[in-house]
Amino acid sequence: MKASSPDTTYRALVVSPDENGQYQMAVKLLPLSNLPQHEVTVQVKFSGLNYKDALSASGHKGITRNFPHTPGIDAAGVVVNKTNNFNPGDEVIVTGYDLGMNTAGGLAEYIRVPEAWVVKKPEGLTLEESMIIGTSGFTAASAIAEFIEHGIKPGEDKILITGASGAVGSMAVAMLAGNGYHVVAASGKPQAASWLQQLGAAEVIDRDAVNDTSGRGLLPAKWMAALDTVGGNTLTTTLLSTRERGIVANCGMIASNKLEVPIFPFILRAVRLVGIASAETPMDRRIYLWNLIAKSLKPKNIYTLATTISLEKAPDYITQMLKGELQGKILVEM
């Protein structure tokens, strides 16, 4: 049931409220004329699930204001029409910006987006691999690029990853370990420890080891860099335990969106705190990062990080994601 001309229909995950105000997900056939009026139409080959999609699919107004709506902040596929910068058949990646938020998203056979959102798929990465990486891997890569630019060295320096079994965390573990970095993976799931070791973590520690409640202004210095996906007291503990002239990147707020931290890591150890906001990454940096991923960060064992599902299975997996039951990346093949 592939749509092939502007008169035909396409399959899309559609989220809409029922008569009780409960948000329901279903794969529906929509006319292509339903797509928003932007420059580039892309036939989506692969997408992936992100927590933002699960929030959008549950009617979270902070993510999506108007329903019915098609979520999906990630899409990779083939350009359908000629535009200033693209030709039919070009393989492209679209992640972030407003895709899947208030613009119909990648959990569909087609998207139509502004040209300024579209990245040409780099050599060295397939469309499928680009969506295993998706926003979570792009976020991990954004932090790793900050570490490299800060002078963090493979082999010598320990790098902490919190929320390590999550989508961003596990991708960061695999990307860093594959490039020879000593990764300390902090996880609350004992059952994920051997998987994290297979991905290359040199050490797996309990999540509680990065949740100090002593109230001290500094803690023994343990790592030179850290990617924190958890926020709150985990980020505080991470900063207090970072070595002199180290760097901490934060992208998430799984535990809390508040940060209360003594000033000492900054004024006594010159620790740097960097924010990661992948959806808004400027296009030149975006192209640089996708090329870095293709050239050196793409995990060798990339397929072990993903479970591939059909669009029809997306509602089940989104429900599991909301319950925190998933491990690794869910790749959606159209």
Ligand X SMILES: NC(=O)c1ccc[n+]([C@@H]2O[C@H](COP(=O)([O-])OP(=O)(O)OC[C@H]3O[C@@H](n4cnc5c(N)ncnc54)[C@H](OP(=O)(O)O)[C@@H]3O)[C@@H](O)[C@H]2O)c1
Question: Footprint of ligand X on this chain (CB under 6 A)?
Answer: 50-51, 135-136, 139, 163-169, 187-189, 192, 207, 229-230, 234, 251-255, 276-279
Smallest gap from Cβ 33 to ligand X, in A, equals 32
CA distance 118 to 223: 36
Smallest gap from Cβ 199 to ligand X, in A, equals 12
Our CA angle for 163, 299, 223, nearest 5°, is: 45
Are the beta carbons of 247 and 147 closer than 8 angstroms?
A: yes
Q: Locate 277 and state its tokens.
A: 């906001």
The DSSP code for 129 is H
Smallest gap from Cβ 195 to ligand X, in A, equals 10
At 125 the three-state DSSP class reads coil
Q: Between residues 53 and 90, which has the closer beta carbon with respect to ligand X?
A: 53
The DSSP code sequence of 48-60 is E--HHHHHHHTT-
At 85 the three-state DSSP class reads coil
Q: Between residues 79 and 230, which has the closer beta carbon with respect to ligand X?
A: 230
**Pairing label, strands 119-120, 182-187:** unpaired
Smallest gap from Cβ 190 to ligand X, in A, equals 9
Q: Between residues 43 and 238, which has the closer beta carbon with respect to ligand X?
A: 238
Nearest residue to ligand X, scored by beta-carbon proximity: 166
Q: Between residues 80 and 247, which has the closer beta carbon with respect to ligand X?
A: 247
Residue ranges of E strands in the chain = 9-17, 23-31, 40-48, 74-79, 91-95, 110-113, 119-120, 158-162, 182-187, 203-206, 223-228, 242-250, 272-275, 306-310, 329-333
- Laid out side by side, the sheet with 203-206 consists of 203-206, 182-187, 158-162, 223-228, 242-250, 272-275
CA distance 279 to 97: 5
Q: Between residues 256 and 291, which has the closer beta carbon with respect to ligand X?
A: 256
Smallest gap from Cβ 196 to ligand X, in A, equals 8
Smallest gap from Cβ 35 to ligand X, in A, equals 25
Smallest gap from Cβ 277 to ligand X, in A, equals 5
Q: Between residues 326 and 334, which has the closer beta carbon with respect to ligand X?
A: 326
Q: Between residues 86 and 96, which has the closer beta carbon with respect to ligand X?
A: 96
Smallest gap from Cβ 216 to ligand X, in A, equals 20
Q: Between residues 251 and 318, which has the closer beta carbon with respect to ligand X?
A: 251
**Pairing label, strands 23-31, 40-48:** unpaired
Nearest to 185 by CA among 128, 60, 168: 168
